[in-house]
Amino acid sequence: DIQMTQSPSSLSASVGDRVTITCQASQDINYYLNWYQQKPGKAPKLLIYDASKLETGVPSRFGGSGSGTDFTFTISSLQPEDIATYYCQHYDNLPTYLFGPGTKVDVK
Amino acid sequence: QVQLVESGGGVVQPGLSLRLSCAASGFTFTTYAMHWVRQAPGKGLEWVAVIWYDGSYKYYADSVKGRFTISRDTSKNTLYLQMNSLRAEDTAVYYCARGRGYTYAKIDYWGQGTLVTVSS
């Protein structure tokens, strides 16, 4: 079975900082990866799909890259409203829908 | 606008059953797959089940296979999750969500969630 890991598990950064989260798959998953944001007490929100495509309406400071086993999620300039937990999600045609363990982002 | 409203959560004893509902509006229900995703208190997201747009295929997480059943009623634009033989580890907020794209994996709209607590 494919395993998904995320690092770091949590981070604290200042407003305006560039934030990077990595998601690693235990085997090649092509570009079959999405990223979600979940603010405290709220439902998740789709930000990035197919590893690098920005969902409609999502601010351009959010971005994604990678393929195969290593993926990166970036916030180019952290804003106070970006306090949330971010999850990667692998999918395939079995179908599999597998979420990573999440990365909690705080603002210093 | 797309709205998904879950209901049916509550406190239930281990071994008993519960049925969750999700009322969908603001989109053509019959053209989207629908998911249930859960989140145990203080934990991450766990996918539970998906039903294809036409109800032709249903898939489950191993943790609920044989105990949970996903279904949809297109006449009522409603998604269901029948949960039997409930266990303490099923305690979670259950989200109803819409899926699109390849294997309907892009989960683009979510409900607010309904809390299920399994406890004696």
End-to-end alpha-carbon separation of chain A, Å? 37
CA distance A4 to B19: 31
Could you tell me the sign of the dihedral formed by the alpha carbons of A55, A57, A59, A60, in that order?
positive
Please give the pLDDT value at position B16: 98
Q: Are strands B10-12 and B114-118 parallel, antiparallel or unpaired?
A: parallel
Q: Tell me the CB-side half-sphere exposure of residue A4, using CA atoms within 13 A.
A: 27
CB contact under 8 A, A95 and B112: no
**Chain B contacts of A98, Cβ < 8 Å?**
47
Q: What is the mean pLDDT of residues B83-91?
A: 98
Nearest CB to B59; choose among A34, A49, A95 = A95
Q: Does A57 touch chain B (CB under 8 A)?
A: no
Please give the pLDDT value at position B5: 98
**Chain A contacts of B101, Cβ < 8 Å?**
49
Please give the pLDDT value at position A61: 98
Please give the pLDDT value at position A15: 97
Q: For chains A and B, count residue pairs whose Cβ atoms are closer than 8 Å.
A: 59
**Chain A contacts of B107, Cβ < 8 Å?**
34, 36, 44, 46, 89, 97
User: Angle CA(A60)–CA(A61)–CA(A64) in degrees, nearest 5?
Assistant: 85
**Chain B contacts of A99, Cβ < 8 Å?**
44-47
Please give the pLDDT value at position B7: 98
Mean pLDDT by 10 residues, chain A (108 residues): 97 98 97 98 98 98 98 98 98 94 96
pLDDT digits 0-9 by tens, A47-68:
999 999 999 999 999 999 999 9
Bond preceding residue A80 cis, omega within 30 of 0: no
Q: If interface means Cβ-Cβ distance under 8 Å, which residues of chain B face chain A?
A: 35, 37, 44-47, 50, 59, 95, 97, 101-108, 110-113
**Chain A contacts of B45, Cβ < 8 Å?**
36, 38, 44, 87, 89, 99, 102
DSSP character string of A38-67: E-TTS--EEEEETTTEEPTT--TTEEEEEE
Q: Tell me the CB-side half-sphere exposure of residue B67, using CA atoms within 13 A.
A: 17
B28 burial type by CB count under 10 A (0-12 exposed, 13-18 middle, 19+ buried): exposed
CA distance B96 to B17: 18
